[in-house]
Every structure is written in C-alpha cells, then in structure tokens.
Structure 1
C-alpha cells in the first residue's frame, strides 16, 4: 500500500493541477493483451486485425476507417458479447480511459478495470444509442480518481449495435481529465510555409513519374516513367529516365537511360552509389530479355554507358507480393528491401540484408515493429548518412492513404530504430505519397505525389527543413597517382572510422572514369588508404570532427613503387600519450604492413620512431625506441619473423617540422617504414 500511495502522489505532482489548471497530461497506452474473445484471421493474412493491433498509440486515428492495424473481432454483428483485456506498463489510479474507435464506432457497452488483486471493478456503462459516426476517440472521464491502482482494462463490445465489422485502434489510460486526443507524430520543427515544387514538364508528363533517386552530389536525378509514349515495347511499360541539373538549378529535359537497363519489360531505378558509377535496379535481368523478381546492379562503363545488370544473390529471398523496393546503404554492404512473407507483420515489411564475403547477401531480417506495421510498408530510402531512413506506409497515423515517414537508426544491428516521424501535411497529402529521396547536400528532397500533378503522379521537390535532413556527411573525392611520374593509376581506396575500426568503406579507383567518391558521416576522424599491387600502401588521417554541414573534400593520394630504400610514414599508428602502448585505431594500418610483408616474403624493413622536443631528451629517445619495438611485437604476433624487422629510435633528433606549435609537433611524432630488402 505504501508503494501505491507513493506512485499516486508522484503522478499527482507530475501530471495534475496547479491553481485549478492541468499542467501536463501523460497517456499510457496498452502494452500487453491479457485475453480476448476472438480476433479476425484469414489464410491470406498474418498479423492484420489481430488482438495485438490494439497495443501502442493509435495507428489510424485521427483518420477514421477500416485499418489492418486495429483489433477486429472474428465475426460482425455478433449477438454474443466480445471483449478484450489489456494491461499497461504502469500501475496507478486513473481518471480517464481513452479508446480509439477507428471503425464501427458505438459498439462498446462496458469498460471495467482489474485492480492489483485481480478484482474486477466497473468504470463505465454505455447508455446511449450509436450516433452513426464511423469512428472517433471515446473519452471516458471518471467523476474522480479511482481509489485503486489499475492493472488492466476490459472492454466489452456488443457488435450487433453497429452493422458490419467493428475495430479498436488503441486503448489508453490517464490521470488527467483533459480528453486524450489522437495525434500525428510530426516534428515540431517543420516549417508551416515551405513550398512543394512540381518539377515541371522537363520531368513530369501526363503519364506516371515515380521513384526519384537523386545522386549524392545532387546533380543527376533518376526516376521511373510508366506508360509513356517514348518508352520501349508495345505496352510502354516502365523505363528509367534521368535529368541533369542546370546552372540555374532547374532540371534539364529528361532522357531515357537506354539499353541494356531499359527493355520492353518493367524497368525501375532503386538507388545510385556515392560515386555515381553503380545503379541499383528493380528485378533481375535475364539474357533473353525477360525479367524475374529480385534486384540487380549495373556498372558505368568507361564509354559512359551502362553494363548489363547483374543480379544480387540474396540468400533465402522470398516475396509473395507483386512489388518490392530496394535501397542500398552508402557503404554498399547493407541492403534494405520490402517483401511480403508468412512472417511479415502484414503486407510488405522492410527487411535488411548484409553483403557476405562470397559476394552474396545474407538472409533478410525484419527490421522490427517500430517501423513495420500490419499495413504495407514501401519505398525505403537510406540517406547518404547511412542512418536516416525514409519510407512510406499507411500503418502509422498520418494525413492520407499513404504517408512518408522518417526514422533514425540507433545501432549497427539495423534492427533498432527511433519512433517514426510523419513528414507533415505540406509533404503528405490525402492521396498516395512516397519515394522520398534526398542528396548528400541535404538541400532539396524529392518525392512522388498525386496532389496537383500534371498527370497521374508526378515528382516534386522542396527545400528540406533542417529537422528532416540526414545527418551531415562529407563527400570524399580525389585521384591516385604514381609518386614517381605523377600519372594516374588504378587503386583500391578504403576509408576507416578510427573510432570503430570495423567500419570501413571501400571503392575501386580507375583514372579513366573520373574521381573516386565516398560518402562518410561528419564529426569523426578517419584513415584513408590507397593500395595497389607493386606499390607501398599509403594512408593519411582525416579529421572531420568539426564539420556540421555537408562538405566536399578532395584528397589526392600518391603511391610509391616498392623498391629498396623507399620510405613512408605510418600516419595512422597511434600511442597513448607519453606511453608506448599501441592504440587500437593503429591496428588497421599495421595490418596493411603485415599483408604487404606476406605478399613479399623476403622483404626486410626498418622501423624508425620519432618524437617532438617536448620533455626530457633522453626520455624521448627511450620512448621512441619503445614505440617501434611495440610495433615490431605486433607484426610478429601477426606472423612476421622478427629477423625481418629492424628498429631504431631517434627521439627528437630528426624533426620534419617546427616544434613551435602543437599542430607542427604532431608531424614530428611519427613511425617511419623503410624497405631494406625486397
């Protein structure tokens, strides 16, 4: 009893009145189904209309009408009473019960409560006739706070009171007498007056234009055009088109992407890689010109065209839906897709798959019920930051028959997400809205909508509000050269997050196809490395911890041929301050040296350690020797014979920069690598 009184008192202080006015309202929505009389089931469905759909905040209201995200008893107009009992993540006295009746409103005849000792207490009895409303929020305000703590609520329905099926969207309790109102979870920071711009006749037509995909640099817009006279084939099925951004920031006249991506079947674009050289496409292209369900990638050729699309092999991939959409994360190793199986929450759900060492993709995993609902989810798009997800559904409270939502990834499992936020009524309309895409610049967002379209469906853009932008990213670009003749050479570029060494992005650089491009989140420190057979790998540190907005950063790299006498600085070998303990962020750099020495089994090297001039001269000399000895031990543990490694500590005797500032001194604290024998 003491515990219950304490809870009651705290909630009273937190939530109730001050000078007779309510200062806050906390609503607890049902978190567990205890029991129910029946639930709708159908061989064609999974979790649609089941009792569990009553849990959580309203999924349909403030809209009204039938919804798969609501509990529906098995039969309509049942002369026998139906009931459902739900419990909550709290135990407290209550003043209000709120029931979201989204469809067939008016069939609830009694509301009862169980106390902590399982005693059933009457709360409310319906003595009114049905009003004929389709749906609304039923607010039962009790005359006073209950004198017991409520453990669970029981709703009793007489479904014969309202013809056809009856549905309950959510059940909530509160200590406030202010009526609970169903609301849409929209960011408070979205402006009320931004302009949604139709892209005009260069992009849109009387046909259907959907699925805009903006290149990360914001300069090329790809989209899918359906039933257009210039499409291939007699049926004019879907084709992929693209447009280039003009100097005045308008879009040029759209051009079909051409063969082999466009054929007489359904062709649709899903995504584009950060460097613009890989395009993701719906369906699997067969050599005979036909298609089958799945997803493909096409690579840009040196001639400027596209190669024949190659199928992505996804383990245990199944999809009973006619449609599926895909989005590739900026690192190229994570694939989101929509698919429908016997295990989905209802309709299509969003799943995640990971690239494996054998170049196949792992069995898809459902990303969970924070995102997925009993309705169909569609058009997922992972932003260039690799964390922000945009998708569309009718399964979360919204404004129309399909709205666009945003959520942020919370960890590296890709299964934990923030609660989705609706992008607001100026983006979402009473019609179908989806296919949201945004560039790395975060300046404009692109999406498909039917409202105010030139045809059946058009592509729009708007100046992206700050609250719905992806997190800031850096577009890393550049070239790779031979340090001797300064000519461009092909190489493999990798960028490693030094705070999370396993998080690495890679790309192949070809001087004939332009700069390499990688998209990386800002506010971090990275190591960038270029590697090519016959050359010493080179790595440098990049610090973007202070970047708050999009930044394009050009970094050219120079590779040195492997020859006796060649020396390089190990820029990403780090030690604890004034100690010789290796920092874990050094392991990637040292592992590359291990790979090199295993590739050249007769290679012998010299490791030289250097410090700045701060502190005692003799102590610095000893520290520099200890540090290179520590590097030597690491290489030995990785299988390199100690006899192949010589070491020398120079202390502060060989500076390469001034010691007047910390920035300059940092250059003097280094480990150098010299080839003694090839």
Structure 2
C-alpha cells in the first residue's frame, strides 16, 4: 500500500513539474511545488554544523562518511573547518589552521573537496603569488594535521578564476569551474563553466570545457561521484525550480555525457549547491540558505552501488605507516581500474569500488614485499566497508633445514649468502642441534646460498626476492651427502687364516648415530672423518671379535694392529680374525675396564660383555672360565685377590642377564701370567686384561 501511494505521489509530482515547465508559474506556485517536494523528500538542516548568525557552505564528505569539511564565515572571513562523526552526530568543529592561516585575513578560501581516500583537500583561494584571481590549491593530511597549501600549478590555474575542484577516486581526473564565456542573457548570478583535466606521467593535460548538454553557460560546483562516472553539478537553466538547481549526468558506454536530470528530491526555490555523497550513496549533503542540509537519496537516483576498502599500510616489524603504490585491476580482464599512492604520514588508504565486478588489489613499495588481495563484489547488494590492514616487510625469512641425507640428523654447517654479482653478503653458522637456521634476506635482491659442512659435499641454491614478493616465510631443505671412501673388511679364521664365509659385520659409527649390518668380506663405504667400531661374528662355530677404525679428513683408513696395538695411519683394509669355538680356546676380551684398585666395572665394559652373553645364548652347552689379570704394581697377594674380585664382577654381570651361574667359573691370576714384560705403561696396560677360556662346548654338526 505504501509503495502504491508513493508512486501516486510521484505521478502527481511529475504532472505538476510538467505543468510548471510549460505554463510560466509564479513564485507562489513554485513555493507550492516546493512544499510538495518537501513532503515527499524531507530535507533536514544539519544542526550540529549550521548556525543562525553565520553561513556554513560547500560541504564535502570523506568516502567512508566519517569526516566532513565545509567553509564558514563565522570568524569574519571565509575559512575551512572539519568535523567527525561521533556515534551518528557530528562532533566539534576543528579549524584547519594550516590552511586558514596561510594567507591574509582577507583571503577567500572556498569550495573544499575531499579526495575519496580522505588524504587530500582540494579548494580554491585568493592567496598571493597565484596565477589568477583565485587558484586551486590542495593540502595533504599528515597524521591528524594538514600540510600548508600547495598550488596545483599553471597547467590547471589560469589568469582568471579557477575553483570548486572535485577529483575522481584514482586522483587522475579533475573537474573544476572557470568563469563562463557564455553567460545566458539576463542572468545576474556569477556564472561558470565546468572543465576537466587528466593527470598523466608528465603532468595535467590542458583543461577542456565539458560539452553540451552539461555546460549551458551558468554552471557551478561540480562533484564527481565515487563511481567516477556520475557527475552532480549546480546549474541555472531553463526548467529549474528556483535559482541554482542540482543536476545529475553520467558518462555512457561511449564516453559521452548523457542529458542532465534535475534532482527533484533536493531542488528548492533557493540556490541548491555543493552536493556531496558518501560512498554508501544513501544521504546527500548540500548547501541551501546559508546552511548545510541533508536529504535521503531515492533509490532511483542513487549512483552505482559501492564498497569501501580502507585500512593502514604498515611496516610489518615496526608497525609504522608506509606510503606505497596501490593498483586496482579487473580480476577477469586484467583491465587497469585505478592506481594511486596512500598517505605517507600514517599509511592510511581508502578505496571505493563499484559492485558487480571482481577486483585484484596490488600493493607495491620499493625494497618491501608486495601484497595481493582479491575482492569479488559481483553479488554485493548493499554498501559495505572492509577493513584491510596491510603489513609489508623489508626482509624475508628463509628457513634452511640442513641435515644428513641418510641419517636425517641436523648438521653444523657454514652458510654463505652471496648477492647477484657474487659478493658475499653474510656468513652464518648453523648450530647442528636443530634442523632450522633462519636467514633474513632483504627484499628486492637475488641471492645464491652456499652450504658447506665438514666431510660433506657442498650444496647451493638460488632465491630471487625481486618482483612480486607476497610471502615472508620460505623453506629450503638442504640434504647434504657425506663424503665416503670404500673400506675392504676381511674376516678370517684365527687358526687357519682362511676366510670365514659365514661371518657378519655390525659397524657402529661412534661419531654419529649410524649402524651398518652386512655380511663379512666385502668393501663398505664409510664416512670421511668418522670413527667406527667394527664387530665380526659368525653363527658357524666362531667367537666374536671387534676393532675400532677411523677415516681421516683426508680419506685415509686408520686401524689398530691386533697383536701389537699399534695404530696404522694408512691401512688398505680391515683384518678381523675369529677364534674357532673349541675346548680350551682362549679369547681376550676387549675394553673391559675397572675403577682404579677396584673391582667395579666401568659402564663402557658392558658392550663387550653383552657380546659374551650373546655368544653363550647362541651355544647353550658352552661353559667358560673368566680369568682376570693385573700388572706387577702392588703386592702379589693383593693383585691375586683384586683379579679374583674383578673376574667375579664380570661373572655377576653376565649371570644377571639370564646366563646360569653353573656355566661360569672365575679365576684371578694377579700378575703371574703377563703377555708382555711390565717394562712400560703401555705394556702394563696390555697385561691388565680379562680372558675368556672355553671349558666345554658341544657344537651342532653344521657348526
């Protein structure tokens, strides 16, 4: 019902307007029409701003609708003021002193207009040293303050009047007014014509007057809308209700301005000037009777639906504001929509986009990362605001994971970073305890990263941080290959010297966590710089044997002579001899150590004793004697007793691991059976030993 009544009102209004246009109505009839218009489109004075004594004029609102600037003569001359939205009402006025105090007290400062991102104010003024009577100036926001005015230059400003500037959202098309050369006959108002200029890389183009049907000779106060296609302006032309009325035109697909339409919802019998609409497109502010008014815009007059995207561009580490280049393109066609720089003082930016399309937002700054965002606005049906803070960074974090390709252990390594001309930028050492080493690399450069670890083959890779860098964290796995040499290992029968074909080898790396299990009598690749314990055994009637070897940094094999204990520094192979298992066979146990003058075993002895346990479990019939020997230091009786206790300690360890006590006996021989003369500390060490003697054993037929 409400919708039907409203349509009836509009039909009635349309009839009145047609009647008025063609019938030469008097002022009283025009007032009646205005009353009808006000009943349909009520206009409200903005009471927080407007005063009774003074004039408030030429409002301009920021794209997000939160800041309004205007001019007023409340201080005795025309000056600019700013107010901010505070929970739905306009707050206290703020004098823009950096602009207002720039010239003389008698200077005219008028026609303010926000850039859509809220970072610039354009206006005209009669400051000295201009190019004409009044020139167009601008002031840039610096945090909460504004810069001193800057003249837009002779490309725009002429020797006469230039004013009422308005600029598109991308800051590249400027509309303004100049004194009219074609004032209609009989008009006594100050008349202007609307001009346009495009900003290029070389500056502003020569301004050109907008053609018919926009300019008819007495226009004023243009305002380009957020869609960059809709222009609202004031005009004194035939068919108007009063003095200056507001009209709306827009660029069609061919780039031509369509015939202007009077804005019936705002026009009155007074001069109606200086429209401004926030990006939401719902409310218009305008000047009338020395005050600022607002009116709700009917749906059919609203510009294309818009979306505002705003936020701060900041340094990711310091959180300080940055200036950057922003570029909007059509996400489907890559067509460039707009490009501009944000505010350098605090990094604030604001973008107004029309709905019905999908967009890419690209943010770039030299020596910083970039940012890329996608906005799909094709199904947006109402005004929306998006808050999007953008953090850019000067360094990328390259996490280099350096590890052994075979064992996956982290490695200590030297990381050398070189720039694109091969100059060393930085050298970093990895700790070898964790996989990850973080490198901070400056954006805008290409690098080669070389990784070297002792006794491993070096490796390098490149990383290019030029161009569009979107991510801060990078990961690079560096699998280093160990340097190896081939080591022949022969396992022979101790008595016959022949090869033990059934032997097996367990090769334990004492430098790192590595174990190799292979059959005996073959060549095995071992790591340069590491030491190994090689244990040989056979399940075909042989005892075990072990030896320690090393591979020098030069790739030389080091072995220990089993008979003399001498270290051979450049061996060609490893020779291990296995004792055949038979009654009365003797086996000297290696690496059995005790506390000084004590029978307490060192823990390092357990590895060899575990081999004894394994052997006895493999041959359940075997009985052995454990004989301990000492050197000649100390009394002979004491040495016998000490050796007996040490033999018992060995037996206690073996029997504690599920070996029956009756299978072992202990003997303590003291210093009575030396294998070499006790004439040196080295020889005494050879005489301090533990031996295993087989007392009884029954071998299977295949042993």
1:501 is aligned, of 312, 335, 342, to 335
Residues 562/284 of structure 1: CA separation in 2 closer, same or farther (3 Å cut)? farther
Query: Is residue 2:205 matched to residue 1:362?
Result: yes
Output the CA distance in 2 between the equivalents of 1:566 and 1:369.
Answer: 64
Q: What is the 5 A alignment of 1:497-646?
A: 497-498=329-330, 499=333, 501-510=335-344, 513=346, 515-561=348-394, 565=398
Q: What is the 5 A alignment of 1:223-242?
A: 223-226=70-73, 228=74, 231=75, 236-242=76-82
Provide, for residues 111-150 of structure 1, a one-character-per-residue CA deviation record: whole Å limited to 9, x for no partner.
xxxxxxxxxxxxxxxxxxxxxx99xxxxxxxxxxxxxxxx
1:204 maps to 51
CA contact (8 A) 2:362 2:370 kept: yes
1:338 is aligned, of 155, 177, 182, to 177
Output the CA distance in 2 between the equivalents of 1:645 and 1:202.
Answer: 58
CA contact (8 A) 2:395 2:472 kept: no
Output the CA distance in 2 between the equivalents of 1:507 and 1:218.
Answer: 21
| Runs of 5+ unmatched residues, structure 2 | 1-16, 186-190, 401-442, 450-461, 465-469, 477-703
Cα deviation, residue 533, structure 1: 2.4
2:268 maps to 429
Cα deviation, residue 191, structure 1: 9.5
Residues 561/408 of structure 1: CA separation in 2 closer, same or farther (3 Å cut)? same
Instruction: Report SS of the residue matched to 1:355.
Output: strand
Residues 206/518 of structure 1: CA separation in 2 closer, same or farther (3 Å cut)? same
2:152 maps to 312
2:322 is aligned, of 490, 494, 497, to 490
CA contact (8 A) 2:232 2:247 kept: yes
Output the CA distance in 1 between the equivalents of 2:274 and 2:137.
Answer: 19
Output the CA distance in 2 between the equivalents of 1:519 and 1:566.
Answer: 39
1:410 maps to 252
1:593 maps to none
Query: Is residue 2:86 matched to residue 1:251?
Result: no
Residues 561/324 of structure 1: CA separation in 2 closer, same or farther (3 Å cut)? closer
Provide, for residues 436-492 of structure 1, a one-character-per-residue CA deviation record: whole Å limited to 9, x for no partner.
111112232111112xxxxxx211111222122222222111233555x47345141
Cα deviation, residue 365, structure 1: 1.4
Output the CA distance in 1 between the equivalents of 2:145 and 2:20.
Answer: 47
Query: Is residue 2:195 matched to residue 1:351?
Result: yes
CA contact (8 A) 1:242 1:256 kept: yes
Q: What is the 5 A alignment of 1:10-159?
A: none
CA contact (8 A) 1:284 1:311 kept: no
CA contact (8 A) 1:353 1:363 kept: yes
CA contact (8 A) 1:296 1:312 kept: yes
2:242 maps to 400
Output the CA distance in 1 between the equivalents of 2:321 and 2:138.
Answer: 25
Cα deviation, residue 285, structure 1: 3.8
Q: What is the 5 A alignment of 1:166-177?
A: none
Residues 337/509 of structure 1: CA separation in 2 closer, same or farther (3 Å cut)? closer
Output the CA distance in 1 between the equivalents of 2:100 and 2:131.
Answer: 12
CA contact (8 A) 1:284 1:295 kept: no
Residues 309/554 of structure 1: CA separation in 2 closer, same or farther (3 Å cut)? same
Cα deviation, residue 401, structure 1: 1.9
Instruction: Report SS of the residue matched to 2:300.
Output: helix
Q: What is the 5 A alignment of 1:187-202?
A: 193-200=40-47, 202=49
Instruction: Report SS of the residue matched to 2:292.
Output: strand
Output the CA distance in 2 between the equivalents of 1:204 and 1:351.
Answer: 33
2:120 maps to 278
Output the CA distance in 1 between the equivalents of 2:306 and 2:140.
Answer: 24
Cα deviation, residue 428, structure 1: 1.4
Provide, for residues 368-392 of structure 1, a one-character-per-residue CA deviation record: whole Å limited to 9, x for no partner.
102111x311010112222221111
Provide, for residues 140-161 of structure 1, a one-character-per-residue CA deviation record: whole Å limited to 9, x for no partner.
xxxxxxxxxxxxxxxxxxxxxx
Q: What is the 5 A alignment of 1:377-392?
A: 377-392=219-234
Output the CA distance in 1 between the equivalents of 2:385 and 2:48.
Answer: 31
CA contact (8 A) 1:479 1:516 kept: yes
Output the CA distance in 1 between the equivalents of 2:340 and 2:310.
Answer: 13
1:293 maps to 134
Output the CA distance in 1 between the equivalents of 2:314 and 2:383.
Answer: 27
Instruction: Report SS of the residue matched to 2:83.
Output: strand
CA contact (8 A) 2:368 2:444 kept: no
CA contact (8 A) 1:472 1:550 kept: yes
Provide, for residues 83-128 of structure 1, a one-character-per-residue CA deviation record: whole Å limited to 9, x for no partner.
xxxxxxxxxxxxxxxxx798xxxxxxxxxxxxxxxxxxxxxxxxxx
Output the CA distance in 1 between the equivalents of 2:340 and 2:89.
Answer: 33
| Runs of 5+ unmatched residues, structure 1 | 1-59, 65-99, 103-132, 135-182, 451-456, 568-598, 606-643, 647-669
Output the CA distance in 2 between the equivalents of 1:563 and 1:254.
Answer: 45
CA contact (8 A) 1:314 1:361 kept: no
The structure showing larger relative contact order (alpha-carbon pairs under 8 Å, at least 6 residues apart) is: 1
Output the CA distance in 1 between the equivalents of 2:127 and 2:52.
Answer: 27
Output the CA distance in 2 between the equivalents of 1:282 and 1:545.
Answer: 38
Q: Which has the larger radius of gyration?
A: 2
TM-score by length of 1: 0.50
Instruction: Report SS of the residue matched to 2:97.
Output: coil
TM-score by length of 2: 0.48
Output the CA distance in 2 between the equivalents of 1:201 and 1:218.
Answer: 16
Cα deviation, residue 561, structure 1: 3.6
Length, aligned pairs only? 384
Output the CA distance in 2 between the equivalents of 1:316 and 1:291.
Answer: 11
Output the CA distance in 2 between the equivalents of 1:398 and 1:224.
Answer: 26
Worse-superposed segment, 530-539 or 437-446: 530-539
CA contact (8 A) 1:284 1:296 kept: no
Output the CA distance in 2 between the equivalents of 1:270 and 1:411.
Answer: 30
1:650 maps to none
Output the CA distance in 2 between the equivalents of 1:465 and 1:101.
Answer: 27
Output the CA distance in 2 between the equivalents of 1:326 and 1:564.
Answer: 47
Cα deviation, residue 279, structure 1: 0.7
Residues 554/470 of structure 1: CA separation in 2 closer, same or farther (3 Å cut)? same
1:462 maps to 295
CA contact (8 A) 1:261 1:308 kept: no
2:521 maps to none
Residues 286/602 of structure 1: CA separation in 2 closer, same or farther (3 Å cut)? farther
Cα deviation, residue 407, structure 1: 1.2
Q: Which one has the bigger strand percentage?
A: 2
Instruction: Report SS of the residue matched to 1:260.
Output: helix
